[in-house]
Amino acid sequence: MSIPSKDTFDKQFLKEQISSLLRERVCTTISPDVMYLMKKAYAEETSPSGKEMLKTQILNVTLAKKQTKPVCQSPGFPTIYIKYGNCVNISELTEVLGEEIVSATNDGFLRPSMVHPLTRKNTGDNSGIGVPNIELGYDSSLDFLEVLISFKGCGAELGNAIKIFTPAQIGEDNKGIKEFVIDTAIKAGGKPCPPFALGIGIGGQMDIAAKLSRRAVSTRKWTDRNPDPELARMEEELLGMLNKLGIGPGGIGGKTTALAVKIGMGHTHTAICPVAVNFHCWVARRAGMRIYPDGRIQYLFSEEASE
């Protein structure tokens, strides 16, 4: 396979594509797989108030897309996952991503909400140290560039939790972990803007578990199935348990508390098992694309899922 040069994607081309992705597929709508689950939840919800809440949430997305307006007043926090080979100048790409988030903010697609953590001073344009958070994945064999942009709501962060389990605390059939997840959801109540999805990171150390939890809920389709049979079973079991809590859409009651549970796992030390629980509100502002050397673009999450 011949590897394209770094001149394949010039900076202006990247700016145009990132700008379009932000304005047309991230800020003004939600991921199609999540919209599918929202509509499915509406059809199956038995609580009148919960059903009305889901109807309003779905209508909100429809109107935002139609009017080219932000789908939520909160911009969330941007994390960008990049897979790349030798066909892109990565420093130019990361520069473009920061510039285009500022541009989208100045054009009214995002509310300026990034602040200094201690002084609380707002930068005014969603720039700042560590913003956006960029996760890089290099593979020299790739002949495409993949960019996935995820704006995860920060109100939902208030319910997040992490626990470092000892092996004994895990329990038979992972009982301890499951109880921790459900207890975390009960304590969060309606704060994470349900129906939510849970990203669960298991393994590594504390920082790795947290990254695994965010990656799982941000990069996977919420309609997919975990390739690990044990984790797939655990995801399904936890989803069923969450939807028996009665928290419901918007926290006002109903059978639809969660849309999905996504687990990411990594090996850990023999003495510990870190577990991170990461809430993602129903406003799944994320989109991605693969750009090929011939200019062809393949969008991620572009088609609504089927049952």
Contact yes or no for 47/250 (Cβ under 8 A)? no
Distance in angstroms (rounded) separating the CA atoms of residues 131 and 66: 29
What global pTM score does this model have? 0.93
Q: In Å, what is the CA distance from 291 to each residue of 46, 84, 195?
A: 43, 10, 33
Structure tokens at 157: 């962060």
pLDDT (tens place) for every residue of the chain, 307 residues total: 344 445 557 889 999 999 999 999 999 999 999 999 999 999 999 999 999 999 999 999 999 999 999 999 998 999 999 999 887 889 999 999 999 999 999 999 999 999 999 999 999 999 999 999 999 999 999 989 999 999 999 999 999 999 999 999 999 999 999 999 999 999 999 999 999 999 999 999 999 999 999 999 999 999 999 999 999 999 999 999 999 999 999 999 999 999 999 999 999 999 999 999 999 999 999 999 999 988 899 999 976 443 4
Contact yes or no for 211/152 (Cβ under 8 A)? no
Contact yes or no for 14/289 (Cβ under 8 A)? no
Distance in angstroms (rounded) separating the CA atoms of residues 158 and 173: 28
Distance in angstroms (rounded) separating the CA atoms of residues 291 and 200: 30
Distance in angstroms (rounded) separating the CA atoms of residues 280 and 156: 6
